[in-house]
Chains A and B, each alone.
Chain A
Amino acid sequence: MDWTATAGLLAGRVAIVTGASGGVGRGLARALALAGARVVVAARSPAGGQETVGLIEVDGGQALFVATDVCDASAVRRMVEATVRAFGGLDIVVHNAASTLARPTPLEDVDDAMWAEQAGVSLDALHHLAHAALPYLRDTGRGRFLVLSSAQGQHGGAMNPTYTALKAAQRGFVKALAREWGPHDIVVNALAPAALTDAARSYLEADPERTREAMKSFPLGRMGDMRDDIGPAAVAMCSDLWRYVTGQTVNVDGGYYTAL
């Protein structure tokens, strides 16, 4: 990846990335920082969050870890306030955090605890983040609110109805909030990645035949690197380059979902 293409696109911007202690969130946080943003890594895990901060600093960027449970409204509010204290404002919110319980589970086996945890991370967190961030995003005149959704919410993943429903719900959130926040020049979008996370890699590497079959679904023949494939798209969506795109779900997935 030639990062000169995105260098400076987010200079002077301040971004929050939730769930950035690893996986897709870490990749996005690093990409935003490489594009010039100062990044708050909001996650529950101090070890993973600090590791992301360290990686950003090695890349020459500036970042701060703030321990945050996105299901806790007061914790989210404190995290946003800490962001503004540390970096002087807030321009970009990326809600990437996902539940660790989002495992394949047939409909009839979904219990209330499983639902509450996943709905908390996917939907309550959107409420908390939107409420806490709105005053700052409104002030900046270039606010961005980006939600990490999934193609499963579009094509209907068979094995995990809870995850599928919640990722689809986030698309409804984005479409409506884009209309509500448009007059404030706040752009609201969703990004549906196909990222080769550690979990995806472990799943695929356990069965080479499964990998061959799965990769047939990707015209580009591979899943995306979190920083180098997914990250630049997120940078563009958060930059002025995409300032006239709002209310959309953008699939960054190597051509996996092409049904629209």
Chain B
Amino acid sequence: MMMASASQHRSLDGELALIIELGLPLMSGIAEGLGDAGAEVIALRDPRLAGSQDEVDAALATALGPDRSPALVVLSLLGEATTKLGPLSDTDLATWRAGAADPIRVAMRVLTALGARMRPAGRGAILFLAPSLSLVGGVGMVALSTALEGQRGLMKSIARQWGSSGVTLNWAAAAPRALSSLFEEADLAAKGDPVPIALGRRPDARTEIAALGAWLASPAGRGVTGATLMIDGGEWMVP
């Protein structure tokens, strides 16, 4: 199937796009897609992102220097423990904290560091990229769903706090199996509908998910904030 390339629009020409990823790799194809849209892309995968606020600030400074502010940030902060799927009854407290709570705290620190740069700049789009499974739950995914929904709630709160500064925050809920092979064997929720996915296919990261981020960073997308954007080909059609 021919898919329109983000490069046809090049809406990020001359702009800086930052990819932040901690834990489960979900960003395959995203950097290429943002590059297609004309962006200078910097990828930040630094274990200091899981550390203190000072360490997060330092990781960001390593990637961006002292004062650069990105026009677009696409981030995934799941941590390592969230990749261990299993029933809650088999999850000990340390694993629970690492899987359910820590990713929310990490997101708070990363947003704090980003806000210090992006709010004074008066613009910029932050897009969380996550598997859509937290919106519907899943067996063996209590910690993961808890962490993701917590981050999604945080995203909404900060979207309100920062809205007047011109910085937007949104959430892209993508088909899990389009993001990671981890979910190939997972017991994902399913509807059993004769047409389970309206488009009949998973989204393409490079041409479709990255393009969503590019659009949000463009003038056309600056009125969208605090939103949960389903990019699952019309699987769940959440209300």
On whether the beta carbons of A123 and B161 are closer than 8 Å, the reply is no
A131 CA to B136 CA, complexed, in Å: 22
Q: A123 — which chain B residues lie within 8 A by C-beta? A: 96-97, 100-101, 146
On whether the beta carbons of A130 and B149 are closer than 8 Å, the reply is no
Q: 27 A-B residue contacts at CB 8 Å?
A: A115-B108, A119-B101, A124-B93, A127-B96, A127-B100, A130-B88, A130-B89, A134-B89, A153-B149, A156-B159, A164-B157, A165-B108, A165-B151, A165-B153, A166-B153, A167-B153, A168-B154, A169-B100, A170-B146, A171-B153, A172-B149, A173-B100, A176-B144, A176-B145, A177-B142, A179-B138, A180-B87
Total chain B interface residues with beta-carbon distance under 8 A: 47
Does chain A have a CB within 8 A of B65? no
Q: B148 — which chain A residues lie within 8 A by C-beta? A: 172
Closest to B189 in A: A179
Most chain A CB neighbours (cut-off 10 Å) among B104, B157, B239: B157
- Min C-beta distance of A103 to chain B, whole Å: 14
Task: Please report which residues of chain B, range 97-130, place their CB below 8 angstroms from some CB of chain A when the two chains form the complex.
Answer: 97, 100-101, 104-105, 107-108, 111-112, 115-116
- Min C-beta distance of B42 to chain A, whole Å: 23
- Min C-beta distance of B203 to chain A, whole Å: 22
Does chain A have a CB within 8 A of B147? yes
From known contacts A106-B161, A131-B89, A169-B146, infer whether A164 and B156 are also in contact, taking CB-CB under 8 Å. Answer: yes
Does chain A have a CB within 8 A of B25? no
Total chain A interface residues with beta-carbon distance under 8 A: 46
A162 CA to B107 CA, complexed, in Å: 11
On whether the beta carbons of B157 and A157 are closer than 8 Å, the reply is yes
A13 CA to B141 CA, complexed, in Å: 30
From known contacts A131-B89, A169-B100, A172-B146, infer whether A164 and B154 are also in contact, taking CB-CB under 8 Å. Answer: yes
- Min C-beta distance of A80 to chain B, whole Å: 14
- Min C-beta distance of A190 to chain B, whole Å: 11
Q: A108 — which chain B residues lie within 8 A by C-beta? A: 112, 115-116
The main secondary structure of chain B at its interface with chain A is: helix
- Min C-beta distance of B91 to chain A, whole Å: 7
Does chain A have a CB within 8 A of B207? no
Does chain A have a CB within 8 A of B150? yes
Closest to B100 in A: A123
- Min C-beta distance of A126 to chain B, whole Å: 8
Question: Known pairs A124-B93, A127-B88, A156-B157. 10 more at Cβ < 8 A?
Answer: A106-B161, A110-B108, A124-B101, A127-B93, A131-B89, A164-B153, A168-B152, A168-B156, A172-B145, A178-B137
A162 CA to B112 CA, complexed, in Å: 13
Pairs of residues from A and B, 3 with the lowest C-beta to C-beta distance, nearest first: A168-B153, A156-B156, A172-B149
Q: B134 — which chain A residues lie within 8 A by C-beta? A: 172, 175-176
On whether the beta carbons of B100 and A107 are closer than 8 Å, the reply is no
On whether the beta carbons of A168 and B88 are closer than 8 Å, the reply is no
A234 CA to B199 CA, complexed, in Å: 40
On whether the beta carbons of A161 and B158 are closer than 8 Å, the reply is yes
On whether the beta carbons of A124 and B154 are closer than 8 Å, the reply is no
From known contacts A164-B153, A180-B88, infer whether A107 and B111 are also in contact, taking CB-CB under 8 Å. Answer: yes
Closest to B89 in A: A134
